[in-house]
Amino acid sequence: MEEYHWSQSDYIVVKALENGVTIIGLTRGRDTKSHHSEKLDRGEVMVAQFTEFTSAIKIRGRAQVYTRHGYVETGD
């Protein structure tokens, strides 16, 4: 079996379109919990990675999100 390296896991890029955009990392496992959060101001960009501990990323506020699957803009 080939060993999986987290450096090969997916990344997303989030660009804040307003002040106070919140990015929340959610854990893997039986119980999904918030384990990290960041606040971005308008124009700030964050690159986030899915890892051994992060299975989902929640975004609150208006932002542009870029992934290898395409682009989406969050709602109001």
pTM: 0.79
Instruction: Please tell me the total count of domains within the chain.
Output: 1
Contact 14, 71 (CB under 8 A): no
Position 48 in a domain: yes
Position 47 in a domain: yes
Q: How many CA atoms lie within 13 A of 1 on its CB side?
A: 3
For 5, the token pair is 């390296």
Residue with the bigger pLDDT between 73 and 6: it is 73
Position 56 in a domain: yes
CATH code of the domain covering residue 55: 2.60.40.50
Position 68 in a domain: yes
Q: What is the pLDDT of residues 3-60, one digit of tens each?
A: 555 555 788 899 999 999 999 988 877 777 778 889 999 999 999 887 777 788 889 9
Domain that holds residue 35: 17-73
Position 12 in a domain: no
